[in-house]
Amino acid sequence: MKLRHLLLATAAVAAFTGTAQAENVLKWGANRDIGSLDPYSFGDSFTINVLNHVYEGLVRYNKDLKIEPALAESWEILEDQITWRFKLREGVTFHNGNPFTAEDVVASLTRVSHETSPLKGNLPAYVSSKVVDELTVDITLNGTYPLLLNDLTNIHIFDNEWMTENDALMPTDVGAGTEGYATYNANGTGPFIVESRQPDAKTVFVVNPDWWDEPQHNLDKIELTPVNSAATRVAALLSGEISFTNDAPVQDLPRLVAAPNVEVLEGVDLRTVMIGFPFRDTLTTGEANPFVEKSVREALYKAIDLDLIHQKVMRGKSRNAGATIAPPIPGYTEALDTLPEFDPEASKALLAEAGVAEGLEFEFNCLSDGLVNEEQFCQAIASMWSRIGLSPKLDVAPRAVQSPKRTNGKTDVYTLGWATLPLLDSYSPLLQIFHSKDGNAGVFNWGGWSYPELDALIDAAGSELDLEARLALQTEALGIVKDEMIMIPLHQQPMAWAVTEDVADMPLFPDAKPRLWFAQMGSDS
Amino acid sequence: MIAFLLKRTANAAFVMLAVALLAFVIFRFFGDPVEMMVNEQATLQDRVELRERLGLNDSFVVQYTRFVTNAVQGDFGISYRNQQDVMVLIKDRFPATFELVLVATVISLVVGIPAGVITAVYRDSRLANILQLSSIVGVSLPSFVVGILLILAFSVSLGWLPAFGRGETVDIGWWSSGLLTPSGRAALILPAISLSTFQVTLVMRLVRAEMLETLRADYIKFARARGVPTARVQWRHALRNCLMPVITLTGMQIGNLIAFALVTETVFQWPGMGMLFIQAVTFVDIPVMAAYLMIVSFIFVVLNTLVDITYAWVDPRLRDDTARANG
């Protein structure tokens, strides 16, 4: 395992470097800036990920992406099965010196689940929370729900007193047209403190000397500078003006690999790229929709040459997927991951048998700013489908333009990438993509399918507290998704980070989230 | 003069209303901001409610009227993405763009005018040919390519100048200036050159054409006949008469430079208004886009007016007219 290898390397480096004289400043060149200093202000995972260096949750993912205690030391489910009791860590202080208590947890959960919060969907089962004593909190849910801890990894805890003093108890509401104190200021418990911020230019974080945990990093400072242009980011890395980027452009990787002062860290993302079909009665052209027939979906699946896309479009860096989730995600089994046979002749036969007319027109909706090389693989797939006698009309545009068409059923076939974040569990795609549309279920069920037996399995998993039993249900549900070819998986997409020689160790995480509290700098002298 | 100013103001107001109208017509093709604002787990109902709260379900006329009413009071609302007052966002970014444009304009005049005179006076000399040739290159290369080439040469290979950013800045009131620190000045060089390449060639070609015209004029011949030194005739008498269109052009182009600085700003990660606008487009941040368009059109209108006034100041005949009219 690459992670384990890196873990050992970290330990070795930590043992040998000893005390460094010079200040270790990690210059992070990201492909965009964070939206604000308030992680609850905008449903943007990059902002949340960066601010996780400042704010922490009750629990967190460790280096192996397993959940471990953070601000909560332990937890238990009470007898009613819907209340969770959290014992909080003692002696934790916020950056302003205030002690961390149960009040802070209740205030933070209230804030993130407030009706104007764009992130309230991140706590789908949350009903209320109350202070039991200074370091104990009870969280009540709307039913038995196994994934509360996964949800809580991403819910950052604010200081109640600080929010009260600065009138920041409620999330900022764009509709009301008021600004919030937390947009400009931050006060968390995390390993780094915000020192200064100039939007679009530079945000500086300094190490928190009073962090409750034993630091596994040796950074003194992080300078986050957004560099939107890929070419400039590469140039800045080559000239050493930035020492780390979490987005090394795929087309420039050979050049970065060849550079003497740069190291490229490559891996496969958890994000699985899939194609979805419409299940409505008619296509956008007004014709009857043949995709409701499984044999037609199968025909389109068999017509895609996954190996060709892997080699030519993804330059051999992707991983062909047979399952709709990546191998590290709980619920995955190898049986789910069998690849289809590429057989255009069989596709033609299936289409003929289903009575699909030659030259059937349908829209194929792709994003120009979405997945890795999305435009290219969409073009490739469209021409593969043309070869079996269909006429896909490729519609490529930015996310902001395509999303309304997708959610309102104004298109036919579409792409979707799903990384199961922040749950890191197969329950995430099952509930949000494959379940029938119903409240917070099936929000991404753009095709509009409904499989009652699948819904029953997902609902059962959603209230099953026993891990083994739950994963068995989820695996069974994923089996239905695969057999019915509700969506067809293509691949897990590649990811690449790059560091200069100033950085001794930078663990690469498959959820593509930089966790700089594991980073080690140090010259090799 | 007062009638002139009043007329100008009325024109400006009309132009701005028209810009706002056009802006609102195109915004609906940018997509749905709500899809960018909520995270993946938000339910359909959450999205519907948010759209309602933002007033996006209101009719076009209602949205437009609300925008204009608020804008007249200087209230452009809150950015969807940054959750900050849009005017503050733009005010913070304006100095960066303005300094960049200012320096680019100075470069274009300081380089462009002498080059234009030289190519006109010493036609067919080797220097003039080289200048002419490089001006073709300057006109035809897109500014992002110039930017990337400059970065490769001066940042990556030579390591002299920073590839991106604005360096250290000094705050003078609400104005943040990069001109007062060494790192700020160093950071300004490449973006300013990249932004001015097109401008330099434009000025040079204009000056050259005007000079060729002027040098044929009778008063130049008379000046020469009278024994005024050649250099003085060329650089003073002839050049001064060529500067009218250059001033007009420069004034008009400042507006263009501010508007098109967004390409340079994207390449160099220059934290200016263009950068802000590009990001607003990506995230369908309607308040920011609307305010940016209004402010850029306002700058255009102001510059046009200033150019007219400068005309009067440079050209003695116009100055006499206005002096008399006011006197």
The DSSP secondary structure of A391-454, one letter per residue, reads: EEEEEEE-HHHHHHHHHTT--SEEEEEE--TTTTSTHHHIIIIISPSBTTBSTT-TT----HHH
CB contact under 8 A, B163 and A401: no
Per-domain boundaries in chain B = 2-72, 86-325
Give the per-residue pLDDT at A2.
43
Nearest Cα residue in chain A from B167: A201
Tens digit of each residue's pLDDT (9 = 90 or more) over B71-93: 888 888 888 888 888 888 888 88
B271 to chain A, any CB pair closer than 8 A? The answer is yes
Contact assessment for residue A203 and residue A34, using Cβ atoms and an 8 Å cutoff? yes
- DSSP-assigned letters across all residues of A41-102: SS--HHHHHHHTTT---SEEE-TTS-EEESSEEEEEE-TTSSEEEEEEPTT-B-TTSPBP-H
Count CB-CB contacts under 10 A for residue A470: 22
Tens digit of each residue's pLDDT (9 = 90 or more) over B175-206: 888 888 888 899 999 999 999 988 889 899 89
Residues of B in contact with A440 (CB under 8 A): 41, 43
Separation in Å, CA A25 to CA A37, A123, A207, B109: 21, 35, 10, 41
Tell me the shortest Cα–Cα distance from A341 to chain B, in angstroms. 33
Residues of B in contact with A228 (CB under 8 A): 266, 269, 275, 278-279
Give the per-residue pLDDT at B312.
63
- The residue ranking higher by pLDDT, A480 or B281, is A480
CB contact under 8 A, A118 and B148: no
CB contact under 8 A, B29 and A401: yes
CA distance B239 to A91: 76
SS3 assignment for A332-348: CCHHHHCCCCCCHHHHH
Give the per-residue pLDDT at B1.
60
Judge whether residue B306 has pLDDT over 70: yes
Judge whether residue B63 has pLDDT over 90: no
CB contact under 8 A, B31 and A400: yes
Across the interface, of B36, B53, B84, the residue whose CB is closest to A175 is: B53
CB contact under 8 A, A172 and B83: yes
Amino acid identity of residue A58, one-letter, is L
Stretches in chain A below the pLDDT threshold 50: 1-21, 524-525
The DSSP bridge partners found for residue A224 are A28, A203
Residues of B in contact with A51 (CB under 8 A): none
Separation in Å, CA A298 to CA A285, A348, A479: 22, 11, 15
Instruction: Show which of residues 90-109 on chain B sit within 8 Å of chain A, judged by CB atoms.
Output: 92-93
Contact assessment for residue A119 and residue A152, using Cβ atoms and an 8 Å cutoff? no
Tell me the shortest Cα–Cα distance from A117 to chain B, in angstroms. 9
Contact assessment for residue A492 and residue A268, using Cβ atoms and an 8 Å cutoff? yes
Q: Phi and psi (nearest 5°) for B3? A: -60, -40
Residues of A in contact with B42 (CB under 8 A): 43, 118, 120-121, 443
CA distance A171 to A123: 15
Give the per-residue pLDDT at A40.
84
CB contact under 8 A, B46 and A120: yes
Give the per-residue pLDDT at B6.
76
Give the per-residue pLDDT at A479.
95
The residue of A32, A34, A42 whose CB has the most chain B CBs within 10 angstroms, and thus the best one to mutate to test that interface, is A42
Residues of B in contact with A119 (CB under 8 A): 39
Contact assessment for residue B125 and residue B213, using Cβ atoms and an 8 Å cutoff? no
| Tokens describing residue B177 | 């200036």
Contact assessment for residue A30 and residue A205, using Cβ atoms and an 8 Å cutoff? no
* Stretch among A69-73, B144-148, B314-318 having the lowest mean pLDDT: B314-318
Give the per-residue pLDDT at A523.
59
Query: How, if at all, do strands B175-177 and B170-172 pair?
Result: antiparallel
Give the per-residue pLDDT at B325.
46
Residues of B in contact with A443 (CB under 8 A): 40-44
CATH 3.30.460.30 holds for B86-325: no
Q: How far apart are the first and last CA of chain B?
A: 11
CB contact under 8 A, A175 and B55: yes
Tell me the shortest Cα–Cα distance from A216 to chain B, in angstroms. 31
Separation in Å, CA A268 to CA A171, A325, B3, B51, B270: 35, 13, 69, 36, 32
Contact assessment for residue A120 and residue A113, using Cβ atoms and an 8 Å cutoff? yes
Nearest Cα residue in chain A from B145: A231
Give the per-residue pLDDT at A412.
95
Q: Average pLDDT of B288-299?
A: 86
pTM reported for the whole predicted model: 0.82
B303 to chain A, any CB pair closer than 8 A? The answer is no
Q: How far apart are the first and last CA of chain A?
A: 29
